[in-house]
Structure 1
């Protein structure tokens, strides 16, 4: 077997062994170039490709020459372009030189002109200042003329009678008044001459304006204020306010308004009395004459309504929210006084027919109750109307007189009634119940109190006295022939009846207290009389009298019939009386109309009996009176007595 030949390594080749050394260097340079150099080469090649007109066939052989040729061509183009720029700059330099020479010439001319026009400019400034001052003076004069003179239209409105009195008239009049006020201020300054001249020139216009306003207001007063219903216009309000600056003219207009309203209210009142309302509704007040209360009430109600409406109209006419009008000239008009004067004059037209008719009703004296209701009604309307009118108003004075007259006739009726009762007194029956006349008078009292209820300002005390006192006097006269106890019982019944009638009314409290006090006095008298009967029935009269008359130095046992045996017999009789006594009231006390009064009298009598028994015990137990064994004399203690009479205590 043959052995293969051994393989040996061939020697390595190097660049130095290559036959073409420059080429090897270039290859080595290319192979050893880095990525950054490749990028630069790529960028350079891209730049070469962007050069226009580059011959790519000759690029490898003559790259440098080609690039330099292109550079020379480009520079030649730059030189050509900059040559045009240089020419433009040269032209600009020429123009600037010309402009500089022109400016120097203009500067010289301006300096020369300035020296020539300096005086003219100074004069122009002076003239401008003078012109401004004149313009200011013209504006001041214009404002002065507007403030202190009237326009042609305003003069025509104020002076021409054919022009209507309307808002424009009052605006012009207000302007005229303002001019007059401003002129008065001018008189307090150094411009007194101007103020006087303007006031003199405005005086004629002012007189013409007020004359025109006065005649217009006079006509309106006659035509507008003579009817039943009045629609107050704002022009009339302004006219009256303007005329306040002429007190004489203003007072004349007020007199005309007052006269017109006086006649209108009087005429309306008479129509309401005799004709009634439109179409007969409401009916004439005179038809209510048979009923005095309604007749007078309807008349007073109409007067009150008319007075309230009249005052409301006047307050609207003079503006109720204005307390007074005051002008710079010092003229002051108090509105409330003016309204009160006109209201008084207007309502005065109702006084005469109202007074005559009320007097006719009162003279007839319709009866105590009706008279009292009429008097209260008149007094109520008097106080109501007094709140609307001034203190010394005629209608108010007439109503006060009628109130006094109504109460005068009322008390006159009561006095006549009391006289009739006194002359024909009627004795009560055996039961001592209240007589019919007393019941009738008490009924009148109830009616009178019902009429007064709701009027807390009325003083009812005089009326109560006028009714109750004659009634009580009549009751006393009617029982003058009866026994003292019957008299007291009947008077208690009457007083209780009167007090019960007044009970529901708080304003009778004072009189009720007086009646109750008199009634309690009579009940105390009845209790005393009942006590005397009990003492007599118990046999203690002599002992009571002896104790009352006993001398302090004399022993009680030494007095007649006051020894121990006599007292023991008397106390034994008293003990028997206690056994027989009844809890029922006596037949005489049963005549009292009030069960409470019966118990009050009985309780009072028992208390008096217990008091005398205490006095007897005290006297017997007193060692100075000489009783050795008081217990044998006294059958019962005070506690026993109180237990026996517990039904009455």
Structure 2
């Protein structure tokens, strides 16, 4: 539309349009300027202008063609349409004005109605104001009451025990069951939480609840205490399934140390009576056991065998102790340290129950050992009576010592089982001391009897019969001590007392016989006795000190035998005279030169001595060994003889050196004087090497 419109506008105007209706020069020029001006404004108008674009779109919508007629009528048509539109608008606004009048009337009516309503509302507010204020006050009061009710309910549920709960907690007619323990736990919590109430300004309520809870707790613990006592009367410790409620009750009762200790005292007394009766029944048998005597005989059935009799009693006591300890561990230890914690809490809540200066923490194991020891008091008393009867009614020292070792063995066993502080160990200590006193008394009587029979040593110089008997007894005692593992800490020293009673008196008797014998018989006799004692003690390490002493003594007597054998060799060989002659001679030339002038070194005497030496040497060792053949150790005989032979060889070497030195001086003198002399070596030709070969 726009393009066609501008194309039509750009074509040359028709002659009718260009020719003015009234030709005039002035008019023509103004019209041309106005038209040029219009065309210029039209052409300068931008299509992007909104007004131009809307106008063009309107023309395009009308489907108008660009003709002269159309252009003349266009303005009129547009103005007509504008006038018609304005008329329509005025008409429409007239209707709107009518509607606005009606709306205004309606608004006025509404305003009037609102004013009336405000009046009614104001009057209603004046009438209902006090009621609303009262209702608001009541609502606030209700909220406060509800809050107080909730607080009261919470307080009651936490700090107040119901009648049913109080009955279950304190009434002895009610059982000690789960409900009791739950209520007791709640009562303890109430008692503890009362500290919070005591911290407030008004302490009356806290004091009242604290007093009430204290009474209830005391009644509950008294009920629990009496219930445990009743249960202890019928408690079967042999049953592995011990009632769990008893263990729980003991843990709870531990919070009252006084009641707990009283309960333990009652239990210990009851168990002491039960164990005493059981031990007496095991000793003597009962009517109920007569049918089973064939399979299980009373301990007194073996009273004829004292060692077995005492051993059976001790074994029964040990077995009962183990069973008692295992059963009580289930009651007091199996649940950990609850009892210890309960007692600690009880001591904190009842400081008056703590002994003065007693700050030691409760030890469950130690308390268990003490309780078991108290349970065994009656058994220990009866055991002491029977064992002392056995000890005092027999005069056999070996039996008394075996019983002492047996008691020491069980004492050591009980100390590991119950601790070193157990009262039962005092009974074992007393019995052991009594057995050792009886042993020493019997041994002294035996020694006194033997000393009256001492005569002379045997001809073969062997240990006398009383020593042999004593050594056999000592062997039995040492074996008993070794198998008893008694006095472990003093194992090496524990046997010294036995040696002083069972060996030393008999060795003293042998020493008296030793003093009556001549050399070398006395030393041979002494060594034989000491070797016999050493052989008995050798297998036992606890006698090592005494064995060392015996070996030292044997060494002293062996040295004397060596000296005796040495004297024999020098005397029988004949060189003792020569040795005595040169023993005090110095190495000076004057003394050496005078050797040949000495009486023993004169040719006739020296020839006799040389002949005697030659006759002695072939059998010298055999003859010397024959002197100590009664020594009961062939190896020692050989050793002593060899040591004596070595000393003999050393003496001969010394003698030989003197002879050689004297011959050298004689040779020097003979060369200077040109005289022939008789050399000592020619008369006494034996050399020390030859002597060693012959005596080896």
The TM-score normalised by the length of structure 2 is 0.68
Inter-CA distance 129–380: structure 2 relative to 1 (3 Å threshold) = farther
Choose which of 238, 241, 252 in structure 2 pairs with 1:242: 252
Alignment of 1:144-163 (within 5 A): 144-163=155-174
Partner residue in 2 for 1:182: 193
Partner residue in 2 for 1:40: none
Alignment of 1:81-96 (within 5 A): none
Partner residue in 1 for 2:24: none
Partner residue in 1 for 2:497: 462
Q: Is the 8 A contact 2:520 2:561 kept in 1?
A: yes
Deviation at 1:451, TM superposition (A): 1.2
Deviates more, 1:316-325 or 1:266-275: 316-325
Choose which of 496, 508, 518 in structure 1 pairs with 2:531: 496
Tell me the secondary structure at the aligned position of residue 532 of structure 1.
helix
Deviation at 1:373, TM superposition (A): 0.9
Partner residue in 2 for 1:555: 591
Partner residue in 1 for 2:389: 360
Inter-CA distance 133–452: structure 2 relative to 1 (3 Å threshold) = farther
Matched, 1:645 2:695: yes
Partner residue in 2 for 1:485: 520
Choose which of 626, 641, 644 in structure 2 pairs with 1:602: 641
Q: CA offsets, 1:312-370, max 9 Å, x none?
A: 22222222532723217445754345334422322111233222221111112341222
Partner residue in 2 for 1:374: 403
List gaps (5 residues or longer) in structure 1: 1-100, 109-115, 117-125
Q: CA offsets, 1:525-550, max 9 Å, x none?
A: 11211111111011122233344444
Deviation at 1:152, TM superposition (A): 4.7
Distance 1:591 1:188 in 2: 103
Partner residue in 1 for 2:506: 471
Deviation at 1:376, TM superposition (A): 0.5
Deviation at 1:404, TM superposition (A): 0.9
Distance 2:608 2:594 in 1: 16
Inter-CA distance 455–296: structure 2 relative to 1 (3 Å threshold) = closer
Tell me the secondary structure at the aligned position of residue 484 of structure 1.
coil
Partner residue in 1 for 2:328: 314
Distance 1:202 1:244 in 2: 19
Matched, 1:408 2:437: yes
Deviation at 1:392, TM superposition (A): 4.7
Distance 2:690 2:587 in 1: 29
Deviation at 1:429, TM superposition (A): 3.8
Deviation at 1:563, TM superposition (A): 4.9
Alignment of 1:336-351 (within 5 A): 336-351=365-380
Q: CA offsets, 1:138-177, max 9 Å, x none?
A: 7776555444333554323113332111122112212212
Partner residue in 2 for 1:21: none
Distance 2:303 2:407 in 1: 16
Tell me the secondary structure at the aligned position of residue 388 of structure 1.
helix
Partner residue in 2 for 1:217: 228
Deviation at 1:192, TM superposition (A): 5.6
Inter-CA distance 578–191: structure 2 relative to 1 (3 Å threshold) = farther
The CA RMSD measured in Å over matched residues stands at 4.0
Deviation at 1:306, TM superposition (A): 1.6
Q: CA offsets, 1:225-252, max 9 Å, x none?
A: 7x88796422222222322333332232
Partner residue in 2 for 1:259: 269
Deviation at 1:435, TM superposition (A): 3.4
Distance 1:622 1:465 in 2: 58
Deviation at 1:598, TM superposition (A): 1.3
Q: Is the 8 A contact 1:557 1:564 kept in 2?
A: no
Q: Is the 8 A contact 1:575 1:635 kept in 2?
A: no
Q: CA offsets, 1:248-295, max 9 Å, x none?
A: 322322221121112111111111111168433521111221111011
Alignment of 1:23-422 (within 5 A): 144-184=155-195, 187=198, 195-224=206-235, 232-275=242-285, 278=289, 279-280=292-293, 281-320=295-334, 321-322=336-337, 324-325=340-341, 326-327=344-345, 329-330=348-349, 333-422=362-451
Deviation at 1:222, TM superposition (A): 3.1
Partner residue in 2 for 1:521: 556
Inter-CA distance 555–159: structure 2 relative to 1 (3 Å threshold) = same
Inter-CA distance 149–473: structure 2 relative to 1 (3 Å threshold) = same
Distance 1:641 1:525 in 2: 23
Inter-CA distance 229–274: structure 2 relative to 1 (3 Å threshold) = farther
Choose which of 606, 626, 638 in structure 2 pairs with 1:587: 626
Distance 1:187 1:614 in 2: 112
Deviation at 1:426, TM superposition (A): 4.8
Distance 1:315 1:549 in 2: 87
Partner residue in 2 for 1:90: none
Deviation at 1:424, TM superposition (A): 0.6
Inter-CA distance 247–137: structure 2 relative to 1 (3 Å threshold) = same
Distance 1:361 1:245 in 2: 47
Distance 2:644 2:200 in 1: 102
Distance 2:454 2:147 in 1: 108
Distance 2:206 2:681 in 1: 123
Deviation at 1:213, TM superposition (A): 1.6
Q: Is the 8 A contact 2:617 2:695 kept in 1?
A: no
Inter-CA distance 543–205: structure 2 relative to 1 (3 Å threshold) = same
Distance 1:340 1:192 in 2: 47
Tell me the secondary structure at the aligned position of residue 434 of structure 2.
helix
Matched, 1:635 2:685: yes
Tell me the secondary structure at the aligned position of residue 453 of structure 1.
helix
Tell me the secondary structure at the aligned position of residue 283 of structure 2.
helix
Distance 2:389 2:609 in 1: 76
Distance 1:162 1:562 in 2: 123
